[in-house]
């Protein structure tokens, strides 16, 4: 099973930002998310999210919910 956990690199160690329970000796892959990369992916995904959520077709559903 793949899981994603947010963490930071601090004082030469990887510090998890949320508590998790994992067995001792669990193998991991660490993907670095540099600040400039994070901004790029947030901007790139925003366009897709806007296309899905901000469209006139949704107005029909919103109107039905008010009835």
- According to the model, what pLDDT value does residue 60 have? 79
Mean pLDDT of the 45-63 span: 78
Predicted TM-score of the model (pTM): 0.46
Going from N- to C-terminal start, the domains of the chain cover 7-65
- The values of phi and psi at residue 15, to 5°, are -115, 115
Query: How far apart, in Å, do the first and last CA atoms of the chain sit?
Result: 43
pLDDT over 70 percentage in the chain: 99
- According to the model, what pLDDT value does residue 50 have? 81
């Amino acid at each position: 099973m793949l899981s994603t956990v947010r963490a930071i690199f601090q004082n030469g160690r990887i510090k998890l930002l949320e508590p998790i329970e994992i067995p001792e000796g669990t193998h991991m892959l660490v993907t670095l998310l540099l600040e400039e990369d994070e901004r790029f992916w947030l901007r790139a995904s925003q366009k897709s999210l806007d296309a899905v959520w901000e469209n006139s077709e949704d107005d029909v559903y919103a109107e039905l919910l008010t009835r």
